[in-house]
Structure 1
Amino acid sequence: MGIRILLVEDDEHICNTVKTFLSEAGYKVDACLDGSEALKNFYDNVYHLVILDIMLPGLSGHELLREFRKLNNTPVLMMTALSDDDNQIRAFDGEADDYVTKPFKIQLLLKRVEALLRRSGALAREIRFGKLTLLPEDFKAIYYSKEVPLTLKEFEILMLLVQNTGRTLSHETILSRVWGYDFDGDGSTVHTHIKNLRAKLPDNIIKTVRGVGYRLEEEAT
């Protein structure tokens, strides 16, 4: 499963340069020149990392960061010419994961990208949660040393929950992240898949937050 990055930068030259280097490093990159397009892409696709400018037409980087955090914990690297303390503090208060100021050396940016992906588990061949092990490249789940037969959607839901451990994900969030923003369905679709997942897992590690959605506890039992 390839690493997919959302790049949001309104300077076309910088955007193309960064996209080229990231692509040559083996990443799949979706590039946007304005905030509104970036928000739509974020709803429509699953990304492992976002590289985000602050001064953008449409929605600003700070506004986008706030919207992104309503959905999930995808790592966000702020890449901006604004080097003042106030903007950096505001970004980190908004739960940005890193902050790099222009101009920068492209190799340093690539190292920061790699570090964030490694920290989030996106570069890992396996991701562990208690007795559960996910193998993203093979779309396999192992629980108590036994493979759990999952459909692709079931695996994607479980992966999404693991990546957001301890965070409650609403039915709408799961629908948009797994099926896409334009999917013509409702919360019953998610409920059915969660029910099937629970039937296949030996323990009920997926908790229902009544009236909100679902979450994995910090520690599986």
Structure 2
Amino acid sequence: MSTILLVEDNPHIMKINSSCLSMEDYSVLEAADAAQCRYMLSNNDVDLVILDIMLPDGDGISLCREIKAKYDIPILFLSALSENDDIITALRAGGDDYLPKPYDIQVLIARVEARLRSVRKDKRYISFGRLRLDTVSMAAYFADNDLLTTQKEFSILLMLARNIGSTVPKAELYENVWGLPYSDNANALFTAVSRLNKKLDDSKADVTITYERGKGYALESI
């Protein structure tokens, strides 16, 4: 389930957008100003920010630059400012899309779907809590500390991080990481997971890899 952060000071618009996105099975977080936005981003794994430009404690353009400097998160602007210069300024500040108010809610939902499809295809960093995986350098970090994973250890973490909330069968995990047929004697998987959990434990990470007998492995918060 993708998580969307709505940054909007109009409670009526916030309620409508939040309700409609929730009905589309998105997890929705709400922030009425820039300060709440910063708090939500620092305490949650957000997939998309929907950002108003005019906020009671600042402007969305500056906030967009701030977000982009710290997070790899797409930003969709929603604003009553609809002049070409306003749109150009917002996009050049780092915005990924811009929808002027008033707008059709179905258009908003379609824009969200399109942006998230693009993110899933091209996203370099995948995060779960404070665990961050760099899919380009194939390095895993917890709170900016390199876990020094091997290529196969990283591949295990990546597959589990892409299936949060689900249990990945042993055979599927082994065959995807090792590229070999799975057998009940695939001790390499057990050994690699044990090493990973030790690295996570040594780093005092708030995540661990769990095993459910007869089902498989999952990445979970602790």
Same fold (TM over 0.5): yes
Distance 1:22 1:201 in 2: 33
TM-score, with length taken from structure 1: 0.61
1:24 aligned partner: 23
The CA distance in 1 between the partners of 2:92 and 2:6, in whole Å, is: 21
Q: Secondary structure at the match of 1:157?
A: strand
1:89 aligns with 2:64: no
Deviation at 1:120, TM superposition (A): 0.7
- Kept in 2: contact 1:52–1:78 (CA 8 A): yes
Instruction: Name which of 132, 140, 144 aligns with 1:157.
Output: 132
The equivalent residue for 1:80 is 79
Higher relative contact order (CA 8 A, sep 6+): 1
Which secondary structure state, in structure 1, belongs to the residue aligned with residue 103 of structure 2?
Answer: coil
Identity among equivalent positions (%) equals 33
In structure 1, the gaps of 5 or more residues are 140-151, 176-186, 203-221
CA root-mean-square deviation: 3.1
Matches within 5 A, 1:130-149: none
Deviates more, 1:6-15 or 1:38-47: 38-47
Report 1:45-84 matches (<5 A): 45-84=44-83
The answer as to whether partners of 1:36 and 1:59 remain within 8 angstroms in 2 is no
* Aligned residue identity for 2:20: F
Shift of 1:200: 3.1
What amino acid is the match of 1:21? C
1:200 corresponds to? 153
Write out per-residue CA displacement over residues 181-212 of structure 1, whole angstroms, 9 at most, x where no aligned residue: xxxxxx5xx13x2x13568359xxxxxxxxxx
> Given the two structures, how large is their TM-score scaled by the length of structure 2?
0.61
For residues 128 and 96 of structure 1, what CA distance do their matches in structure 2 show?
16
Task: Name the amino acid aligned to 2:46.
Answer: Y
